[in-house]
Structure 1
Amino acid sequence: MAPSQVIVTNGGKQSVYQAFQTVVNPGDEVLLPAPYWTTYPEAIALADGTPVEVFAGADQDYKVTVAQLEAARTDKTTVLVFVSPSNPTGSVYTPEETAEIGRWALEHGIWVITDEIYQNLTYEGTRAVSIVEAVPELAEQTILVNGVAKTYAMTGWRVGWMVGPADAMKLAGNLQSHLTSNVNNVAQIAAAAALNGPQDEAEQFRLAFDRRRQLIVSELAKIDGVEVPNPLGAFYVYPDVQGLLNRSWDGVTPTTSLELADLILEKAEVAVVPGEAFGPSGYLRLSYALGDEQLLEGVQRLQRLFS
């Protein structure tokens, strides 16, 4: 791969923004599988595109199908957002699912923006296969986004990158030259050290996440009315909590996951993010990127509240 196909950015978020600015034109429709990270629809709108949500629920492990994408495709569809592992759900597409979606995008000439920031945080022997690995011919219409924030816990260093066809990267580079110029040199050197140095600490980091993942999934599953798909990537769990809605809890009857999150914060003093931030109501995102003891304490507070 030529250096002209890679741009180092101020965090993965800048890569996301620039990717949409590069390939989305006013009026273009962008297929956005939901649940989605909150920045995606905003970045699409900033590029004068129209996000088209394609929702997959817990019964599908939050993974969209080619049939769903095809049903949402119109003559204005130009881009697909593909994220595996996912924020907020932690879902990971299988190699076969990834290849099927990649071949569909290739067939219809649809650009793919794939955010691979959680690529190395997978569990139970799962590997997150890049869509351009699954379908190499798709490389000429794909922009990959990544960074050091998640694998190496380097969020504050603000180093990400985007990889794509040289002509698209030239456009993104022109934008960045007037937007932020380069990433600071100290952060770039630190990122290079993380990527090229020993990976022992990163692996211990991943194993700690795996232990906490198993803990939070098993404990949440003890709550009646909560459905918990098993996340195989990232560091989030995304339970379906529709079974807790429209029931009275400590004198309060939440009808949405936003109201449920408020109830949990007030009564259990636990902070969760409601599904409304990522798509439809009826879900909660919980992060297990914290200590084992605090994690268990937080879930046990939920168990007591909803017992």
Structure 2
Amino acid sequence: MELAKRVQTITPSSTLAITAKANELKAQGHDVIGLGAGEPDFNTPEHILHAASKAMFDGKTKYTPSGGIKELKQAIVNKFQHDQGLTYELDQVIVTTGAKHALYTLFQVLLNEGDEVIVPAPYWVSYPEQIKLAGGKPVIVSAKEENQFKLTPDELEQAITDKTKAVIINSPSNPTGMVYSKGELEALGEVCERRDITIVSDEIYETLIYGDESHTSVAQLSQELKDRTIIINGVSKSHAMTGWRIGYAVGSKKVIKAMTNLASHSTSNPTSVAQYAALAAYTSSQDEVVNMKKAFSERLEKLYGWITAIPGITCVKPQGAFYLFPNVSEAVQANGYDSVDDWVKAILEEEKVALVPGSGFGADQNVRLSYATSLDQLEEAAKRIHRFVKKHQS
């Protein structure tokens, strides 16, 4: 049986692949430290669990509207008003089966065959694949490390053609942890306005920004930019709810209506009980969100010091999310390996530390390390990587 052409070119997720390999080694009895997973290591806060349990016993286990329950959509509208001063109506919101599904559905309704979407690299692994599945063409623009891996207005301008439909802005970024400032977003927004480009703003890590940085959505900057921006977000990272699969998209009524129609023929609706859990996440105490941010901030400071102390490894210090994205090219060369991918495989096999090679993110000289695990595990992982690098120095 021959598969459809659209799926034959899909590249498997490198993050899920490395996690699967690490789990396989763990099942064999090895002491593996996994730094590949893109999810908080905290359990979902108890008040959210109780809300889900109550919803089940209250009979909230039936189909819901395809775009999500009204109460949750209202909570999302209220969140934007409170956090960003942005005003949306209920028909500008769709609740989806995770933020990934929001992106997938958005590209399906936005792109025609051959439409181009500008994707700054390093990028989250699923952006290019989802664009291709919608018949579009991902135009990869490599953002320079000296610019903190952030797309510049000149780079954006040069990548635009008469087929360009949209650009993706991911801030805070997965995998780099970089955060766009208000000024940087204004400069990119000016180009998008002038060239009539839709902005896909992935803000899933918005609550995880450290130090003096703060989150700015490009939609906050002007009415014109708000009108051309589709915001993608969800509760997975902010409230440790990755497995609940609740995300959402907010923006143009026309786009949201089309997404809702498509969702009605694909998922019917997001899981009912998970929606009530997400409702509790947005309408109850945010203390656990604050506590998680504090823990991640502490881990960032520690791990950054441990990793940059390793010979041949340099790293632009991230400002958000929960990843380091160090450049390991000198260490790889000094250790005698042909590629970062080979080096990562050797570290997993020899030292039982699972890293994600940067090739999956469009950055061949880097690796992604998630610090969504305990400080003890992070310190031990850094020691093992350091030991490997010193042992194999030529």
Which of structures 1 and 2 has the larger relative contact order (alpha carbons within 8 angstroms, sep 6+)?
2
Match of 2:143 in 1: 56
The residue aligned with 1:302 is 385
Q: Aligned with 2:350: secondary structure?
A: helix
Residue number among 338, 361, 365 corresponding to 1:278 in the alignment: 361
Q: How many Å apart are 1:182 and its aligned residue?
A: 1.3
Letter in 2 for 1:195: Y
Report the RMSD for the aligned CA atoms in angstroms. 1.0
1:174 is paired with a residue whose SS is helix
The residue type paired with residue 106 of structure 2 is A
Q: Residue 354 of structure 2: SS of its match in structure 1?
A: coil
What aligned pairs does 1:46-85 form with structure 2 within 5 A after superposition? 46-85=133-172
Q: Which runs of 5+ in 1 are unaligned?
A: none
Q: Using the alignment, how far apart are the partners of 1:214 and 1:3 within structure 2? A: 40
TM-score, normalising length from structure 2? 0.76
Distance 2:195 2:126 in 1: 26
Which residue matches 1:240? 327
Task: Name the counterpart of 1:269.
Answer: 352
Q: Deviations over 1:6-29 (max 9, x none)?
A: 000011110010111121111011
- Partner of 1:94 in structure 2? 181
How many Å apart are 1:215 and its aligned residue? 0.9
Q: Secondary structure at the match of 2:353?
A: coil
Q: Match for residue 289 of structure 2? A: 202
The code of the aligned residue for 1:287 comes to S
Residue 156 of structure 2 aligns to a residue whose secondary structure is helix
Q: 1:116 is aligned with what amino acid?
A: E
Q: CA deviation at 1:201?
A: 1.1
Residue 151 of structure 1: how far off its partner (Å): 0.6
Task: State the Cα distance separating 1:32 from its structure 2 match.
Answer: 0.2
Contact 1:99 1:135 in 2 (8 A): no
Please say if residues 257 and 282 of structure 1, whose CA atoms lie closer than 8 Å, have aligned partners that are also in contact: yes
- Find the counterpart in structure 2 of residue 144 from structure 1: 231
1:254 maps to 337
Pick which of 232-241 and 58-67 moved more. Answer: 58-67
Aligned partner of 1:190 in structure 2 is 277
The offset of 1:149, in angstroms, is: 0.1
- Residue 111 of structure 1 is matched in structure 2 by 198
C-alpha separation in 2, matches of 1:269 and 1:184: 36
Q: Which runs of 5+ in 2 are unaligned?
A: 1-87
Name the stretch that deviates more: 157-166 or 259-268.
259-268
> Residue 31 of structure 1 aligns to which amino acid in structure 2?
I
Give the equivalent residue in structure 1 for 2:31. none
Partner residue, 2:108? 21
Give the C-alpha shift of residue 135 in structure 1.
3.3
For residue 247 of structure 1, report the CA deviation from its aligned partner: 2.3
Instruction: In structure 2, give the amino acid aligned to 1:93.
Output: Y
- Aligned mates of 2:176, 2:222 — CA distance in 1: 24
State the TM-score, normalizing by the size of structure 1: 0.96
State the 1:136 CA deviation: 3.1
Residues 215-256 of structure 1, C-alpha deviation per residue, up to 9 Å, x if partnerless? 1111111012111111001000000111113223xxxx2121
Once the two structures are superposed, residues 33-63 of structure 1 have per-residue CA deviations (whole angstroms, 9 ceiling, x without a partner) of: 0001111001000110000101113222111
Asked if structure 2 preserves the Cα contact closer than 8 Å seen for 1:58 and 1:240, the reply is no
Any idea what the Cα deviations from partners look like across 1:252-282, whole Å, max 9, x if unmatched? x212111111121122210000011100311
C-alpha distance in 1 between matches for 2:157 and 2:278 = 39
Inter-partner Cα distance in structure 1 for 2:303 and 2:255: 41
2: CA distance, partners of 1:29 / 1:259? 32
Which one is further off, 128-137 or 289-298? 128-137
Q: Among 217, 230, 243, which residue is 1:130 paired with?
A: 217
SS at match of 2:349: helix
Alpha-carbon offset, residue 134 of structure 1: 2.3
Partner SS for 1:128:
coil
Match of 1:287 among 370, 379, 387: 370
Distance 2:213 2:222 in 1: 19
Q: Paired residue for 2:92?
A: 5
Aligned length: 303
- Alignment match of 1:175 (pick from 246, 249, 262): 262
Stretches (4+) displaced over 4 A: none
- Asked if 2 retains the 8 angstrom alpha-carbon contact of 1:254 and 1:263, the reply is no
1:45 counterpart = 2:140 = no
- Report the Cα offset of residue 177 of structure 1: 0.7
Share of identical aligned residues, percent?
42
Tell me the secondary structure at the aligned position of residue 16 of structure 1: helix
Counterpart amino acid of 1:288?
Y
SS of residue matched to 1:246: helix
**Which deviates more from structure 2 when the two are superposed, residues 253-262 or residues 88-97?**
253-262
Separation (CA, whole Å) in 2 of partners of 1:219 and 1:58: 20
How far apart are residue 306 of structure 1 and its match? 1.4
